Amino acid sequence: MNHESIREFALSLPLVTEHLPFDEYTLAFKVHGKMFVTLSLNAQPPRMNVKNDPEVNSALRERYDWIIPGYHSNKKHWNTVIADNYADWTLIQELIKTSYELVWQKLPKNVREGSV
């Protein structure tokens, strides 16, 4: 997997936009202005931060050596995923979707229902 496959998957989710809010190397994916994934464009292999439940984050870190506490993030709520060849693409997609859904659920009800 590569940066472009991660980017394409994140952008396939509803109402997602991409931005470079920090520098020219850190791509942020947002839903309705709220960030749910950051992707380091200059990291090889690709690295991204995704949000999840704190207990799930701990379990993922224990199980997979390619999932570590979130770099430059709240380590309780964010993990860094190192998307090397040995990483599980299906799990990475699930982690991106989960991060998206967690952020989506925190949006105001009128935004989620499309009345804004």
Chain segment 77-95, per-residue pLDDT in tens: 999 999 988 899 999 999 9
pLDDT band at 73 (very low <50, low <70, confident <90, very high): confident
Pairing of strands 78-82, 16-19: unpaired
> pTM for the full model?
0.92
Residue 83's alpha-carbon distances to 99, 104, 108, 113, in angstroms, are 16, 24, 32, 33
Give the integer Cα–Cα distance in Å for 93 and 73.
20
> Please, which residues bridge with residue 29 across strands?
18, 37
Check residue 70 and report its DSSP letter.
P
Query: In the chain, which residue ranges form alpha helices assigned H by DSSP?
Result: 3-11, 54-63, 89-106, 109-112
Q: Which tens digit of pLDDT belongs to each residue from 20-71?
A: 999 999 999 999 999 999 999 999 999 999 999 999 999 999 999 999 999 8
| Residue whose C-alpha is closest to residue 36's, from 88, 105, 91, 89 | 105
What's the fold here for domain 3-108?
Aspartate Aminotransferase, domain 1 (3.90.1150)
Peptide bond preceding 108: is omega within 30 degrees of 0, i.e. cis? no
